[in-house]
Amino acid sequence: MYQAIIKEIPEQVRPLFNQGKVADYIPALGKVSPMKFAMAAKAVSGEIYYAGEVDEKFSLQSISKAFAMILAIRMLGDDLWQKVGRSLSARAFNSISQIEEYGGRPRNPFTNGGAIAIVDLLLTHDVHYLESLLILVRKLTGNRKIDYDRSVAKSEKEFGHRNAAIAYFLKSYGILKNQVEDVLDAYFVQCSLAMSCNDLSRSLLFLANRGVDPKNETVVLTPQQNRHLNALLMMFGTYDGAGDFVFRIGLPGKSGVGGGIAVIVPGKMVIAVWSPALDEFGTSVAGLKALEIFIEKGDLGIF
């Protein structure tokens, strides 16, 4: 049933490919065609359903923050909440004024300020953080070829002035302990992590299975940690567009300005979709509609 549903989706959403805008403020991402589309759903039971260019790699961008959080939760536990909050953001994901409004403490770990603070914490406890992150995602995907796209990282660094401003602002409040340039370099490389929809759907499957990787029975997170990360993804995973996303999708998810979205269906599967043209919240226009169709027709909602 699921394969029959997903097979029809590319044509159903094709009219939306040009309705959004590719993230050309990062020049390396601006070169990607808005006509690209891929969708893969990996079930806890092992089946995979797919349509489109499911093996083509794309830049995860903010989806990488979910993997950083896995390491932060495992390494730091509740200590990570001393530097980052768990509250909804009333402003854009890259807001500077909101950081000042709340005394320098980012509202949640998925805003850019929060993610930069998490990278700083991870670097403080692990100087080889980027290597550790790569080891984690390669293990979760089962794909040893997963890597960073250094050309994307270079492009982000050259044009990442707002993120630099956020980092220096956090430093002024004592949130960052490491040198700002070191934190930014690691953050830009983290965001350049590239993988396919097949890889992405596989990598987060443990989140649909109470923290346990169903392929090898490895415990990635405890049930409580798993519940907490899913809750964070549902509340903050799509930034200031989270309200509309939860209304339409009703499941935990994480978007990135590379055009990818990952959604967790507890107990059943993880769905990954990629379409580069974005709405005003930085979420894939066609990807969001594709998820809405698949979840509705597949009766995958949890409410």
Spatial separation of the C-alpha atoms in residues 162 and 158, rounded to whole Å: 11
Ranges 83-97, 107-121, 140-154: which has the least confidence: 83-97
Rounded CA-CA distance 39/284 in Å is 12
Report the percentage of the chain scoring pLDDT > 70. 98
pLDDT digits (tens, 9 = 90+) for 21-80: 998 888 889 899 999 999 999 999 999 999 999 999 999 999 999 999 999 999 999 889
Q: Please, are residues 39 and 288 in contact by the beta-carbon 8 Å criterion?
A: no
Give the tens place of pLDDT for each residue, 113-125: 999 999 999 999 9
pLDDT band for position 88 (50/70/90)?
confident
pTM of the model: 0.95
Tokens of 285: 């226009």
- Going from N- to C-terminal start, the domains of the chain cover 2-297
Q: Say which CATH topology domain 2-297 has.
A: Beta-lactamase (3.40.710)
